[in-house]
Amino acid sequence: MRIYAVFVYLFLYAPLAVIALFSFSAGRSASDFHGFSLQWYATAAGNRLVIEALLNSLLVAFVSSAIATLFGTAAALMLPRVKPAFRMVFDALTYVAIMVPGIVIGISTLIALATTFNFLNPLIAGDAPGAPPLGFGFGSLICAHSLFAMALVIVIVKARLSGMDRSLVEASMDLYADPWGTFRQVTLPQLMPAVIAGFLLSFTFSLDDYVIASFVAGSRVTLPIYVFASIRRGVTPEINAIGTTVMVFSLAMLVVAQVLLRRQARKPAAA
Amino acid sequence: MQGPRKWDWTAILLMSPSVAIFLGLLVMPILVVLVLSFGERAEAGGYQAAFTFAQYANLPARWAAFRNTLTLAPLGTVLCLLAAYPLAYYLAVKVSSRNRLLLLILVIVPFWTSFLIRTYAWIFILGGKGLPALLDMIGVPDVRFINTPFAVLVGIVYGYLPLMVFPIFVSLERLDKRLLEASDDLGASPARTFWQITLPLSAPGAVTGCMLVFILLMGEYLIPALLGGGKVFFIGNALVDLFLQSRNWPFGSAVAVSLVVIMLVTVTLYLRVTLRNRGMRDQALV
């Protein structure tokens, strides 16, 4: 059984190791190793298309996770105060947003936005001649990513809220703190790890998403779109270098999110 | 959203952005897809208002995508289960609690690194200069892995193994170890203890894992696109073709609606069949 476990871990990590190893190859071909070199990292960093795609991805990831974290946290905080029937519908929508395959989310966003644009653009052209018509790009990417990310944040923050100690809030109220003061000084500090973890998970999701982005990106190129298109053209060492960088980056994000979630799991005992 | 006496303005104000996002980006788009699926294709490739079942009647035109998805998704789920169970068992029962957390994290970490890159790694390994070249050296020439159902299944097991290990591990870890000792004391062989106690009690975790993996596999696009090379394609690949290449939106909408309906029906049936026992249902859906 131990041998089997070792085998599974090899299976899980060998492909990642292969990518990382060949990203340091000096050879021109992606599949023969010719001595250690960082040249493919330099090539990738010097490729204007890669850098542009990376910046696009970072922008979309940052804005969509910020929207998702802000509105998702606000919703999770207010949910206990709304009518049960409304809450049930809202919870159902949250799970639908998570369960529906990304590909269907991509398609439906594409169609809905295209329909909206077709409807609005003649009106805009009529009202403000010369204004650029609405189209796919950053806006649609951010919208589509915010939806899934917000559902994710709601689930994470809700879980944290339900595990929180109510008596602290009550004590604060008893001591005549106003609701805003209670929120700022009692609820928010306890909630913060979940909020940050939600933001980081949303960020990683957005940075890694190809399927949804391929539908709504228009002519914008995000990093996954660039990588996918390059893979289609053939395996190159440059892709290995980009892939290794992305892997290291998302691992770093994951570690930070985990540390925060772990700290939050320990906190109730301390409180 | 109304309080017992007056409107709760804070709640309304703070909930409205998320409600707007759900309505505008989830409910409305899904309704539009439903409407389109009953429409007709315009000459230029757009949409023409109509109410017809023609798009649904045309579904057999994409039969191969449905057949591949409905065979490879369940098969991939079962392979994931078979690969994950021994590992979850090992982690939950055999490993000392000191090493357990670290080993578990090591299973989950790959799941959070880029899915695109992880799948791409297998193009590298299964492609012409990877494993086939190695096999050629030891005297097994002309083996092809890439662009076969086998490659797609490898990608599936690789991609979704962590998602399967985790729930099984949780249910095995919660299992009361005294039951195993009791069974042993009463003279049952280890095999019998496993079949009659461990396996049934860990079933809820297996059910949850299978459901998660199956749902994700039904909408899978990247693995068949990269490892199936246009020969082994899923419904997801057909959808990308219909929306981005052939631009037949009404038919594509009908395919998308069918995908979601098939998903809902199979998952419901699956839960019905596997979770007849009520206690188990409560545990599995945690």
Shortest CB distance from B21 goes to which of A83, A150, A231? A150
Provide the token pair at A167: 């008596």
Number of other CB atoms surrounding residue B264 within 10 Å: 12
Task: Residue B245: list chain A partners with CB under 8 A.
Answer: none
Which contiguous run of DSSP H or E holds residue B164?
helix B149-174
Q: Closest by alpha carbon to A165, among A91, A70, A264?
A: A264
Instruction: Say what the pLDDT of residue B3 is.
Output: 45
Most B CBs within 10 A among A10, A96, A104, A178, hence the mutation to make, goes to A104
Instruction: Out of A29-43, A170-184, A192-206, B105-119, pick the least confident.
Output: A29-43
Q: How would residue B1 be classed by pLDDT, with cut points 50, 70 and 90?
A: very low
Summarize the confidence of residues B54-61 as an average pLDDT: 86
Confirm whether A5 is domain-assigned. no
pLDDT at B176: 81
CB-CB: which of B26, B124, B221 is closest to A97? Answer: B26
Please state which of the ranges A191-200, B40-49, B63-72 shows the lowest mean pLDDT: B40-49
C-beta atoms of A147 and B87 within 8 A = no
Identity of the residue in A19, A103, A115 whose CB atom sits nearest the CB atom of B219: A103
Q: Which of A62-76, A145-159, B63-77, B90-104 has the lowest mean pLDDT?
A: B90-104
Contacts of B244 in chain A (CB under 8 A): 214-215
Given a cut of 90, whether residue B124 has pLDDT beyond it is no
Asked if the structure places residue A221 within a domain, the reply is yes
**Half-sphere exposure for B63 (CA within 13 Å, toward CB):** 4
Say whether B11 and A243 touch across the interface (CB within 8 A): no
Q: Could you give the count of Cα atoms lying within 13 Å of B113 in the half-sphere of its Cβ?
A: 27
DSSP string, B40-108: EE-TTSSEE----SHHHHTGGGGHHHHHHHHHHHHHHHHHHHHHHHHHHHIIIIIS-HHHHHHHHHHHH
Domain enclosing residue A63, as ranges: 47-270
Q: Residue B255 corresponds to which tokens in the numbers above?
A: 């395919």
pLDDT value of position B54: 82
Q: For B230, which residue in chain A has the nearest alpha carbon?
A: A232
* Whether A71 and B130 lie within 8 Å, measured CB to CB: no
Which residues in chain B are closer than 8 Å to A82, comparing Cβ atoms? Answer: 1, 8, 11, 15
Residue A156 scores a pLDDT above 80: yes
Mean pLDDT of chain B: 86
CA B82 to chain A, closest CA, distance in angstroms equals 12
| Residue A35 lies inside a defined structural domain of this protein | no
Structural domain contains residue A67:
yes
What does the pLDDT read at residue B204?
A: 86
> If pLDDT is split at 50, 70 and 90, which confidence band does A271 have?
very low
Residue B285 binned pLDDT confidence (cut-offs 50, 70, 90): very low
The alpha carbon of residue A126 is apart from the nearest alpha carbon of chain B, in Å, by 23
- d(Cα B247, Cα B59) in Å, to the nearest integer? 16
Q: What is the CATH number of domain B61-284?
A: 1.10.3720.10
Q: Are B234 and B224 in contact (CB under 8 A)?
A: yes
Averaged pLDDT score across all residues of chain A: 86
Tell which wins on pLDDT, B92 or B274. Answer: B92
Tell whether A26 is covered by a domain. Answer: no
Chain B residues touching A255 at Cβ < 8 A: none
* pLDDT tens-digit readout, A69-88: 999 999 999 998 889 999 99
Residue of chain A minimizing CA distance to B17? A71
**Structural domain includes residue A233:** yes
Q: Provide the shortest C-alpha distance from residue B117 to chain A (in Å).
A: 6
Question: Of residues B178 and A268, which shows the higher confidence score?
Answer: B178
- CATH code of residue A142: 1.10.3720.10
Please say whether the beta carbons of B28 and A93 come within 8 A: no
Q: How confident is the model at residue A31 (pLDDT cuts 50, 70, 90)?
A: low
Contacts of B38 in chain A (CB under 8 A): none
**Model confidence pLDDT, tens digit, residues A90-131:** 999 998 898 888 999 999 999 899 888 888 888 888 887 777
Higher pLDDT, A164 or A34: A164
Confidence at residue A56, expressed as pLDDT on a 0 to 100 scale? 96
pLDDT-derived band at B179, boundaries 50, 70, 90: confident
Least confident interval from A248-252, B5-9, B51-55, B84-88: B5-9
Query: Chain A partners of B161 at a C-beta cutoff of 8 Å?
Result: 8, 11-12
The predicted pLDDT at position B98 comes to: 82
Q: What is the pLDDT of residues B180-195, one digit of tens each?
A: 888 888 988 888 988 8
pLDDT at residue A139, rounded to an integer? 92
At residue B282, does pLDDT exceed 70?
no
CA distance A83 to chain B (A): 6
Q: How confident is the model at residue B2 (pLDDT cuts 50, 70, 90)?
A: very low
A173 falls within a domain: yes
Residues A207-248: tens digit of each pLDDT: 989 999 999 998 899 999 999 998 888 777 888 888 888 888
Give B212 to chain A, closest Cα distance, Å. Answer: 9
User: Using 50, 70 and 90 to split pLDDT, how confident is the model at A23?
Assistant: confident
| CA A169 to chain CA mean position, Å | 31
Count of pairs with CB atoms under 8 A, one residue in A, one in B: 209
pLDDT for A30: 57
Inter-residue contact A238 to A41 (CB < 8 Å): no
Select from B11, B222, B256 the Cβ nearest to the Cβ of A81: B11
- The pLDDT score that the predictor gives to residue B244 is 86
Contact A5 B90 (CB under 8 A): yes
Residue of A4, A107, A208 with shortest CB distance to B239: A107
Report the pLDDT averaged over residues A181-207: 88
Q: What pLDDT is attached to residue A19?
A: 86
Does A224 reside within a domain?
yes
Per the structure, the count of domains in chain A is 1
Chain-chain contact of B22 with A97 (C-beta, under 8 angstroms): yes
**Smallest CA–CA separation between A236 and chain B, in Å?**
10
Contact predicate A144/A212, CB 8 Å: yes
Judged against a pLDDT cut of 80, whether residue A33 lies above it is answered with no
pLDDT band at A41 (very low <50, low <70, confident <90, very high): confident
Name the closest residue on chain A to residue B15, using Cα atoms: A75
Question: Which of B90-99, B162-171, B193-202 is predicted most confidently?
Answer: B162-171
Q: Which of A262-271, B125-134, B215-224, B269-278 has the lowest mean pLDDT?
A: A262-271
Would you kindly state where each structural domain of chain B is located, as residue ranges?
61-284
Q: Between A178 and B153, whose confidence is greater?
A: B153
- Residue B213, pLDDT score: 93
Q: Which residues of A248-258 are buried (b: 16+ CB within 10 A; e: fewer)?
A: eebbebbeebb
